Structure 1
Amino acid sequence: MPRTSLHSKRIIPIIMLLLTSISCGVSASPEVQPDENGSIDPELLQGREVWGIHCSSCHGASGQGGRGKKLNNGELATSYPDRTSLVSVIQNGKGQGMPAFSSKLTIEETEAVINYIFDVLN
């Protein structure tokens, strides 16, 4: 009977963990759709990337909520009709639930993710 080395016993769980992590990271964040001319707004693509990295773990892949507030139901537009007011919320945090992202996101990235939320998730 062949002996299984200690190395191969360790590598299989590591590979499985990596594959699981990769598949979780490529969650089903809604795609950015082309406009009527077939063009895709690069800012929305950037917003989707920021969303997938920094936001979806709390707010859900499609903004359906979870640990964080639900953002795909149109209520955000009612609470924040001026998109620029959300920059402060994302950069500085809000209350105990929403952490500050000023050390992780530039203003440009913050504006991109806000536009992604409004234009793609809603």
Structure 2
Amino acid sequence: MKWETKQEIREQIWEKMTEEDIAQFPLPCYGRIPNFVGVEEASKMILKLPEFRKARFIFSAPDYALQNIRKFVLQNRKNLLVATPHIQEFLLLKDIPTRMMRKAVTIKWID
């Protein structure tokens, strides 16, 4: 299959994830970076990237599926730039105390 636009690719992925029942909360997965079965394991892969290890600043969208990645960024004492929902603003998170990290990476805290 050949796609004409990124939107066509997104729509096919969302449809396939729904058909295969691998999309997870928040549902439906359409219109967002989808959360999926195995997101925790997939998120850990960023820790192996030399680009991640070298980076001082990391950008993340606020989507739920990226929550683990945001946590890894803060745990590794990197600066995290997060877009608020609908990219209205950006927040710079740095030097977040360990006890606050769990909340700091959530969409509710970001919004």
Fold shared per TM-score above 0.5 = no
Query: Could you say which structure has the greater relative contact order, defined with CA pairs below 8 angstroms and 6 or more residues apart?
Result: 1
Task: From the two aligned structures, give the one with the greater strand fraction.
Answer: 2
Q: Name the TM tier (shorter chain).
A: under 0.3
Task: From the two aligned structures, give the one with the greater helix fraction.
Answer: 1
Q: Please report the TM-score for the alignment, with normalisation by the length of structure 1.
A: 0.25
Higher Cα Rg: structure 1 or 2?
A: 1
